[in-house]
Amino acid sequence: MDVSFIGLLLVLAVGLTSADNTNPCFTFYGNGYLRFHLDKFDNSNSAHYSLKFATTASHGLLIYSEGLHGDDEALYIRNGRLVYHLFNSSPSGVEGYFGAHFMGEVPVNTGDQIEVHMYRSFNVTDEVQRTTQEQTGLVYTVGGTTYSHVDFRPRIGISLNDDVYVGGYKQSLSDTVGNFTGQISSIREEKNEALFRTFSLNSGGSVSTNCLTINPV
Ligand SMILES: *[C@@H]1O[C@H](CO)[C@@H](O)[C@H](O)[C@H]1NC(C)=O
Ligand SMILES: *[C@@H]1O[C@H](CO)[C@@H](O)[C@H](O)[C@H]1NC(C)=O
């Protein structure tokens, strides 16, 4: 094959890689966050979010939503561990006020790419058991090992509005959990078939809409 033709192929391959729009990546510096308000996005009751992140910080907010009646939901890192928190203020039958709180046991602030899934009353099918159950909780993968912290308890009347905050919120959730520092990419929600690419607010213009790959594989 002609050498210049191989050169042309290489140029095309690199061009396509950098134009990849299917895995948007954002870089956060701890001084701001993004807000998404996606078209026809329904954030009530069930959801399945997934994303990838990399950080060396021991604290930071990844995903946050709030609701009309004081409900809220947060995925965050505290003391280097992932936490999923759901506060549901509406009574669900005999269970009363029913939220959720799950914490991972393995440090995730290693600077490596970590994949995380957050489930809220989301139907998950177990192919082996042949059952479908509404699953709530946290599933994450660190260094090839997947850790799961979920339950299948009924939850109803979860009312969260359609604004989804990524990488922070206008106020800190606690003394320690505030804006995130690091990279977050490939944010998706399965029920709405949503890809989080186009945001409605970049607070202070401080979040950068690309990620520098230092060690491309
Ligand atoms: C997080 O970012 C917001 C928006 O830029 C800013 O107002 C707030 O002070 C930041 N929080 C911290 C703890 O730095
Ligand atoms: C989950 O599946 C069950 C049985 O197919 C169905 O009754 C229920 O409404 C589903 N739940 C959600 C949140 O879609």
Is the sign of the CA dihedral 66, 90, 173, 196 positive or negative?
negative
Beta strands 201-202 and 100-103 are unpaired
What local confidence, expressed as pLDDT, does residue 18 receive?
38
108-118 tens-digit pLDDT: 999 999 999 99
Q: 125: Cβ below 6 Å to ligand 2? A: no
Q: 67: Cβ below 6 Å to ligand 1? A: no
Place of tokens 């998404």: 36
* Closest listed residue to residue 148, CA positions, set 107, 186, 112, 104: 104
Alpha carbon of 161 to ligand 2 centroid (Å):
21
55-99 tens-digit pLDDT: 999 999 999 999 877 889 999 999 999 999 998 876 654 444 578
